[in-house]
Amino acid sequence: MNLTAITSIFGVLLLSATVSFAQSKGSEVIATVGNKKITVDEFNKKYTDIKSQTLNPPTKPQFLEDLVRYEVGLQEAAKRNLERDPIVIERVQQETYKALLEKDLGPKVQKIQVSEAEMKAWYKNNPQVRTSHILIEYKPGATPEQVAEAKKRANEIYEEVKKSKRPFEELVKLYSDDPLSKQAGGDVGWQSRVTLVPSYYEAAVSGKVGDIKGLVETPFGFHIIKITGRNPYDAADKRQIRSAVYDEKRKQAFNEYFEKLKKNYPIKTNPSLIK
């Protein structure tokens, strides 16, 4: 046998020994907690995962302590039969539901693309508007009588606004209950369908710049709205538009998924019981 052959055999044996050593080291037990053994391989895998998920990962000794505490907690929970606790059962069900959506819908949602044409089409029906308003508020939980009183006051102010020759900004300072916008003459800035209460937005987009709309009721009270601007697409916030179109397409994917899935189950609802 020549020297080359001997060297090759030695190299194979050395590599085999190195692999065996690595495998045996990986299967070594780094910690034992009750009946659970944590191997070096398991520790390294979990530590690699945690490092990829945080900017400030724990040290390896700290992480080993975390793993020990985790196993102690699991075993203590099992000893107390917490898997039967209603709160635990509900949380497990919630996580199971989320896991199903991630598995079935995750890949489809990740592939969603938003084109410029889709953004323009969406914006045509959902433009950004600028408004000023006078708010006549009623507090959350207000009684019907309190709401009626606020509406009566709002109507009186609205009639005054319609016939007044004073600038709208002055009337805001006289009558509005909104302390933030009041200092700016009622101006609430550029807003969109995704940043305004639906009833307020619908009133704002239903008129022309300069129009005054009222009364518009929202959870905050009654509004008298002056439309002061409407942004063209070129001046609008493209990031917000793209996000809105993306959300609509994602919602459509969810709706289609559940409409198909629901056909596999008998379902009865009684909406009349909703108050």
What CATH number does residue 202 fall under?
Answer: 3.10.50.40
* Domain membership flag for residue 175: yes
Residues 150 and 218 in one domain: yes
Whether residue 222 sits in one domain with residue 125: yes
128 and 229 housed in the same domain:
yes
All residue ranges of the chain with pLDDT < 70 are: 1-25
Q: What is residue 20's predicted lDDT score, i.e. its pLDDT? A: 46
69 shares its domain with 133: no
The answer to the question of residue 2 being in a domain is no
One domain for residues 188 and 221: yes
Has residue 111 been placed in a domain?
no
Range of the domain at 126: 119-235
Report yes or no on 34 lying in a domain: yes
Query: Does any domain span residue 255?
Result: no
Overall domain count for the chain = 2
Same domain for 82 and 169: no
The answer to whether residues 139 and 32 belong to one domain is no
Give yes or no: residues 77 and 33 share one domain.
yes
pTM for the model stands at 0.71
Q: Which residue has the tokens 């052959």?
A: 5
Are 186 and 139 part of one and the same domain? yes
Q: Is residue 223 part of a domain?
A: yes
Please identify, among 61, 95, 129, the residue that sits at the C-terminal boundary of a domain: 95
Tell me if 86 is assigned to some domain.
yes
Q: Are residues 87 and 123 in the same domain?
A: no
Question: What pLDDT shows up at residue 6?
Answer: 42
Task: Indicate whether 133 and 173 sit together in one domain.
Answer: yes
What pLDDT shows up at residue 8?
A: 46
74 and 176 part of one domain: no
Is residue 263 assigned to a domain? no
